[in-house]
Amino acid sequence: MERIFELACAFSELPAVSGQEHIGMERVAELCKGYFDSYEVTPVGSFIGRISCGKAGAKTLLLDAHIDEIGFIVSEICEGGFLKVVNIGGIDPRILPASEVLIYGKKTITGIFTSKPPHLQEKDELEKPMKLEDLAIDTGYSKEQLEEIVSIGTPVGYRSPVVRLQNNAIAGKSFDDRICAVSILRALEMLKEKELPVNIAVQFSGGEETGYKGATTASYQIAPDFAICLDVTNAYVPDAPAYRKDIKMGGGPSISFSAQTSRKLTIKAVETAKKNGIPHQLFAEPNHTGTNSGAIQTSRGGVPTVLVSIPLKNMHTANEVVMLSDVYDTSRLICELALSLKEGI
Amino acid sequence: MIERLKKYCGCISPSGCEDEIRELIIQDIQQIATRYEVDRMGNLIAFKKGRKTPDKKVVVSAHMDEVGLMVKYISDEGYIYFDPIGGIDPRVVGGRRVVIGDKRIYGVVASKAIHLQKKKERGMVVPLEEMYIDIGCDDKKSCEEVVSVGDVATFVPNFEEFGDGLIKSKAIDDRFGCALLVELMQEELEYDTYFAFVTCEEVGTDGAKQVAFNLRPDIAIAIEATTAGDVLGAPKSRYACELRKGAVISHIDGSTIYDKKLVEYALATAQENNIKCQLKNVIAGGNDASAYQRTAAGARVLAVSAPTRYIHSASNVVCKDDLFEIKKLVLALLQKGF
């Protein structure tokens, strides 16, 4: 678990707003040192690492987690050193006022989202929806100074160093989907002493939050025989739809049934979890899963894919919450499923 | 002053729970105060002998408390519901990190994922009474082992310098005032002066009322952090005050009409000494001056404040230069006498 916490801190901090993953790629390669026989970075911002099992004609299992995060890009540099931004991916404006961000310009600088002082607020303002357009980022620089550091298109991300909560829970930014990258690396550590029946290719794909382009292209490059797509899923919280009630924090990875995944591989994953006593939960999402699973499954001539998700709260906010035990159980499931693929599916 | 401010901003001391900040201040003043006492309501009143004893009794006052949250109810799922301590805009609470109680338990104010929101929920501010804190517990029992009804919470300490000479932190309102008072007490003063570190400003200037009653000052100067409205899109006429323009002198706010002669005296002193200062141009807010003005036979009052953006949030923003200008101005006033 401690290892997972360490990795979670390192991965959470990566600056990789969707579409600008290149900024974080060097650090990704650093974090992945020692895990792979070879690696490459694709032209659209995905990291691919490969481990060969050394067997002639062995099949290849793909493990996918997306490395990009939701965030913002600068749309205007304004008087007084304020920045206007537009969102990259789904952002809830309600959590932004007076929150901290990092602006990845020529140097990385801190910014604070503005909040309207009470004396400027209209009476019925709380009755109206908040919009990102109504906010700006305060940088503490003058417009002229700012123009030397940032430009239109500069990415901006949440700033939220990982903290521990009770009960093995942790809070931080971009666990969607970096926590899954962590679960993959932890699984590779578990597999180190084992005899691999298949080659393993890992893709830390870019561009998931903005249309799966990293997974589409990296999967093409890898041409795997089967795949485990790892993402996060909304755990039940008060007032969430009732059908989420069985997705619980601490309940282990959620395995999805969907038309965008392979039923056969999904059942194998469930059986593997059962056989090895790995806590897990089931989720049904028949159509689009909102993850890379569809892009991977339809790559080239088709790739049987299973979607495994880590329960998470407050998705797309600066304080996403996950439980270390769920990450660990996900790593175990990846490990056991990889070992079980000797005879294909 | 900046290091001291950082230290003070790190305290978890919302209204009614000022022990931690008061202890730190006592450590800092015990060698430099002529005498000090803590009254029965928790106010810390220090006296510093000057070269002369003035005709008028002068108190410089800052409040130790900050806005915060209080635990009201722990649900079966282990979520913590709360009320604000002092005035907090719900918009700066959702999604923020807080630290709860003496055990310093970290929590996050939950915000339902955008994917789970119904269309009509999108963008709509959640009222404070419907927000809850998640500390990672999944039932009432385990939550109650570390958090209890009545525990207080504040935003997580986050003091940092950024941009071109700015600072962001929780609780600059009014730890700045506390830090400044200690800085002033380190100076050789011309006149005997009282320094009051008061409690419970955020819930109605309660501490200052008792200090005013017990001390009966002739002149009271409140050192505060006041809302700066100089954010993008706001009309200049509604700025109230601006960062980088120096000390803010209020001639009127939401609860006090200040002593005209004192206001003029402060402005003239600033001018004589080349100290940057500005007049607050919006009638809003209020501070301990109202308590000093109204208690017993009343005192003549002045407020000198730091222009502060995003007050009562997790990130109050001030400019270091403004803080230094305020120190110069208040020191000049004290040395000149009244």
Q: With an 8 Å Cβ cutoff, is A240 touching chain B?
A: yes
- Every domain range in chain A assigned CATH 3.40.630.10: 2-69+173-343
ipTM of the complex: 0.92
Helix orientation angle between B172-185 and B320-336, rounded to the nearest 10 degrees? 40
Q: Based on DSSP, count helices (H) and strands (E) in chain A, helices before strands.
A: 8, 17
CB A328 within 8 A of CB A186: yes
Q: Chain B 243-302, CB below 8 Å of chain A: which residues?
A: 282, 284-285
pLDDT of residue B264: 97
- Here the tokens at position A6 are 């360490």
Contacts of B159 in chain A (CB under 8 A): none
Per-residue pLDDT of chain A (345 residues; tens, 9 = 90+): 899 999 999 999 999 999 999 999 999 999 999 999 999 999 989 999 999 999 999 999 999 999 999 999 999 999 999 999 999 999 999 999 999 999 999 999 999 999 988 888 888 888 888 999 999 999 999 999 999 999 999 999 999 999 999 999 999 999 999 999 999 999 999 999 899 999 999 999 999 989 999 999 999 999 999 999 999 999 999 989 999 999 999 999 999 999 999 999 999 999 999 999 999 999 999 999 999 999 999 999 999 999 999 999 999 999 999 999 999 999 999 999 999 997 777
- CB pairs < 8 Å spanning A and B: 207
Q: Where are the domains of chain B?
A: 2-66+170-336, 68-155
Q: Chain A 100-119, CB below 8 Å of chain B: which residues?
A: 100, 109-112, 114-119
User: What is the 8-class DSSP label of residue B287?
Assistant: -
Q: With an 8 Å Cβ cutoff, is B103 touching chain A?
A: no
Q: Contact B146/A171, CB-based, under 8 Å? A: no
User: What is the 8-class DSSP label of residue A214?
Assistant: H
d(CA A273, CA A195): 20
CB A250 within 8 A of CB B138: yes
Q: Contact A167/B142, CB-based, under 8 Å? A: yes
Q: With an 8 Å Cβ cutoff, is B141 touching chain A?
A: no
Q: Contact A138/B77, CB-based, under 8 Å? A: no
Tell me the nearest-neighbour CA distance from B335 into chain A, angstroms.
33
Q: Chain A 38-77, CB below 8 Å of chain B: which residues?
A: none
pTM of the full structure: 0.94
- Here the tokens at position A304 are 């049987």
Model confidence over B52-68: pLDDT tens digits? 999 999 999 999 999 99
pLDDT of residue A117: 84
pLDDT of residue A309: 98
Contacts of A123 in chain B (CB under 8 A): none
Q: Contact A166/B136, CB-based, under 8 Å? A: yes
Contacts of A138 in chain B (CB under 8 A): 163, 231, 309-310, 317
User: What is the 8-class DSSP label of residue A172?
Assistant: E
With residues binned 3-state (H G I as helix, E B as strand, rest as coil), the percentages for chain A, rounded to 5, are 30, 25, 40
Q: Contact B227/A117, CB-based, under 8 Å? A: yes
Name the CATH superfamily for A71-158.
Peptidase M42, domain 2 (2.40.30.40)
Tell me the nearest-neighbour CA distance from A344 into chain B, angstroms.
35
d(CA B109, CA B135): 9
Which residue of chain A is at minimal alpha-carbon distance from B320? A140
One of 3.50.20.10, 3.40.30.10, 2.40.30.40, 3.60.21.10 is the CATH number of B68-155, namely 2.40.30.40
Evaluate the omega torsion of the peptide bond into residue A177 and state whether it is cis, within 30 degrees of 0: yes
Q: Contact A166/B317, CB-based, under 8 Å? A: no
Q: Contact B134/A321, CB-based, under 8 Å? A: yes
User: What is the 8-class DSSP label of residue B127?
Assistant: P
DSSP string spanning B200-267? -STTTSHHHHHHHHHH--SEEEEEEEEE----TT--GGG-SS-TTS-EEE-SB-SS-B--HHHHHHHH
Which active-site residues of B does the annotation give?
201
Name the CATH superfamily for A2-69+173-343.
Zn peptidases (3.40.630.10)
List of chain B residues with pLDDT < 70: none
CATH fold of B2-66+170-336 reads Aminopeptidase (3.40.630)
First to last CA, chain A: 31
Model confidence over B150-207: pLDDT tens digits? 999 999 999 999 999 999 999 999 999 999 999 999 999 999 999 999 999 999 999 9
Q: Contact A97/B92, CB-based, under 8 Å? A: yes
Q: Contact B113/A314, CB-based, under 8 Å? A: yes
Q: Choosing among A138, A246, A326, which should be mutated to test the B contact, i.e. which has the most B CBs within 10 A?
A: A138
Tell me the nearest-neighbour CA distance from A126 into chain B, angstroms.
6
d(CA B201, CA B66): 8
Tell me the nearest-neighbour CA distance from A41 into chain B, angstroms.
31
- Every domain range in chain A assigned CATH 2.40.30.40: 71-158
